[in-house]
């Protein structure tokens, strides 16, 4: 059995750890409240933007189907970010955290991105990987995945301006034809104890509104697609698209960043809560061991004293 001094040191050490984990839990909880408010406010805006943009795109497709245009007219009407090409080159944008101590938060994002990277490779596509977050970058690098671009410390002072920088880089890759599709892998925030890994197609624009976005706004997803006749465009569809497409890419990336940030805070708060409770249990067990050891030591000393006294009587 360990000495009383050793057990006391362990108890002191665990108590110090418990104070740290409790403080980290409180900090993560405070940050989570702010992040949750931001993402809750943004979700309906993203949903509505996608709905309107989908209607505009559907209207253009319907017009092109009903009428015959020359090659130059068709090129004029189709927006570059709506162009669908065979997936020969794919860009995967992976969102993770810059710090650990958040349970499986970072590992889940890395595993999902790695699985997608392998699937696309097996399908014959060339896969480019861009990372936001140090942990995701390190996870993929250790598994021999080449990182095309890393956006460091993006979550520090996160705002739309930082999301716009990512959106501009992603858009340029797609418009120039360097990649044929863009996917985003991130943790979607459900609650403080639940985060769900999501892989979303960012470009080209999905033809229908994502079901998840519909659930976020407590609306049911349409069963027959978007009806272009519901929209009237002034001056025309292309002008509206030129305005909406960059906005949609920006806020979609911004939303993914906020979802990931809120998920990280929730995961860290949950992990630190579990660590605090484990430390409490360990302190209880060590205290019991200490008391037993102390009692045994006292009993031994008493026995020695009694034995000595008996020896003197003889």
Residues 6+ away with beta carbon under 8 Å from 72: none
pLDDT of residue 65: 47
pLDDT of residue 225: 42
Q: Which CATH number fits domain 28-269: 3.90.226.30, 2.40.50.100, 3.40.630.70, 3.40.1380.10?
A: 3.40.1380.10
* DSSP bridge pairs for 187: 197
pLDDT of residue 63: 54
pLDDT of residue 242: 74
**What CA–CA distance (Å, rounded) separates 84 from 122?**
21
Has domain 4-24+273-313 been given CATH number 1.10.287.80? Answer: yes
**What CA–CA distance (Å, rounded) separates 264 from 100?**
9
**What CA–CA distance (Å, rounded) separates 182 from 51?**
20
Per residue of the chain (314 residues), give pLDDT as tens: 568 888 888 899 999 999 999 999 899 888 888 888 888 888 888 887 777 776 666 656 555 544 444 434 443 445 777 778 888 899 999 999 988 888 889 999 999 999 999 999 888 889 999 999 899 999 999 998 899 999 988 888 888 889 999 999 999 999 888 998 999 999 999 888 888 999 988 888 766 544 444 444 444 334 334 444 456 666 666 676 777 788 888 888 999 999 999 999 999 998 999 999 999 999 999 989 888 888 887 887 777 777 777 777 76
CB burial of residue 272 (10 Å; 0-12, 13-18, 19+): buried
**Do the domains 28-269 and 4-24+273-313 match in fold?**
no
Tokens 């977050």 locate to 133
pLDDT of residue 23: 92
pLDDT of residue 51: 75
pTM for the structure as a whole: 0.78
pLDDT of residue 76: 45
What are the sequence ranges of the domains in the chain?
Answer: 4-24+273-313, 28-269
C-alpha separations of 105 from 36, 49, 282 in Å = 17, 29, 25
pLDDT of residue 304: 74
């Amino acid at each position: 059995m360990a000495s009383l001094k050793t057990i006391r040191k362990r108890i002191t050490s665990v108590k110090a750890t418990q104070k740290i984990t409790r403080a980290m839990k409180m900090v993560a909880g405070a940050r989570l409240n702010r992040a949750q408010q931001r993402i809750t406010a943004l979700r309906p805006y993203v949903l509505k933007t996608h709905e309107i943009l989908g209607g505009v795109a559907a209207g253009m497709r319907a017009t092109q189907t009903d009428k015959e245009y020359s090659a130059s007219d068709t090129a004029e009407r189709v927006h570059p970010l709506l162009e669908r090409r065979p997936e020969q080159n794919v860009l995967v944008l992976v969102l993770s955290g810059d710090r650990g101590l958040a349970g499986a938060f970072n590992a889940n994002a890395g595993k999902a991105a790695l699985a997608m990277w392998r699937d696309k490779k097996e399908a014959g596509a060339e896969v480019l990987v861009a990372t936001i977050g140090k942990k995701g970058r390190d996870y993929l690098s250790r598994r021999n995945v080449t990182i095309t671009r890393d956006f460091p410390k993006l979550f520090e002072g996160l705002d739309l301006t930082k999301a716009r920088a990512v959106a501009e880089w992603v858009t340029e890759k797609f418009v120039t034809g360097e990649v044929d599709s863009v996917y985003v892998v991130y943790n979607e925030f459900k609650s403080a104890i639940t985060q769900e890994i999501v892989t979303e197609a960012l470009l080209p624009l999905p033809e229908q509104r994502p079901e998840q976005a519909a659930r976020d706004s407590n609306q049911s997803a349409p069963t027959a697609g978007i009806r272009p006749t519901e929209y009237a465009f002034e001056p025309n569809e292309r002008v509206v698209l030129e305005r909406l497409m960059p906005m949609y890419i920006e806020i979609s990336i911004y939303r993914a960043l906020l979802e990931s940030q809120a998920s990280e805070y929730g995961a860290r708060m949950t992990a630190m809560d579990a660590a605090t409770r484990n430390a409490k249990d360990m302190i209880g067990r060590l205290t019991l061991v200490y008391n037993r050891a102390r009692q045994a030591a006292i009993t031994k000393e008493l026995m020695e004293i009694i034995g000595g006294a008996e020896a003197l009587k003889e």
